Amino acid sequence: MIKPIQEKIIMEMQGSKSFEPEYYDIIREIEEHEEFLRLKEFYHHNSSIYHHVHGVAYLTYRICKFLKLDHHSAVRGALLHDFFLYDWRNHDMPDLPRYKYHGIAHPTIALNNARKHFAINEIEADIIRKHMWPLTIVPPKYKESFIVSFADKYLASREYLSEYKKKINSRRRYGRVYKRRKTLRGN
């Protein structure tokens, strides 16, 4: 069941299909904000943070709608869960000093950015603050927060594994080319 949802998300984000109109209505305010659009500039796992948060938001939308939860707050929280505006692999002031650990600190930075630019309700704040649970120790308070946390981990794992597979396949191809060259040379 998850794989078809993942494929649908990718197809919709690439413009092959359109999201449900309700989903667009929910994300419009955030999606059109110039600070949020800056997430396109920052690399995440194997794409931009912008594409990552959209994947998490849409998967969250589908799950929360199916479970009859507050899908509106869940989608907004999911879109803003990684609303930090720096390269997390190579960061320094002003948002996060180099000696601080991104995994623990970025939810607070994302929440501060979200509050600076948008009106955030309690569920959205809980989603943003606790999406890194159990790393952030305090568990989520709402079902929607758990769903975003798990959707984020699922998609981040898929993104990471996709990149890992590309590297492995690239090494295998390089290894075959190297062996073929060696054979042709007679070594």
User: Using an 8 Å Cβ cutoff, are 111 and 124 in contact?
Assistant: no
Mind listing the pLDDT tens digit of every residue in the chain (187 residues)? 455 555 665 565 555 455 688 999 999 999 999 999 988 887 766 678 898 899 999 999 999 998 999 999 999 999 999 888 766 556 555 555 555 555 566 888 899 999 999 999 999 999 999 988 887 788 999 999 999 999 999 988 887 776 666 667 666 666 655 555 556 666 5
Identify the structural domains of the chain with CATH numbers, from first to last.
2-185 (1.10.3210)
User: Using an 8 Å Cβ cutoff, are 74 and 130 in contact?
Assistant: no
Cα–Cα distance between 116 and 100 in angstroms, integer? 22
Cα torsion for 24, 26, 32, 36, to the nearest 10°? -120
Supply the pLDDT for residue 99. Answer: 52
Supply the pLDDT for residue 3. Answer: 54
- At 83, list the tokens: 């609303």
pTM of the model: 0.74
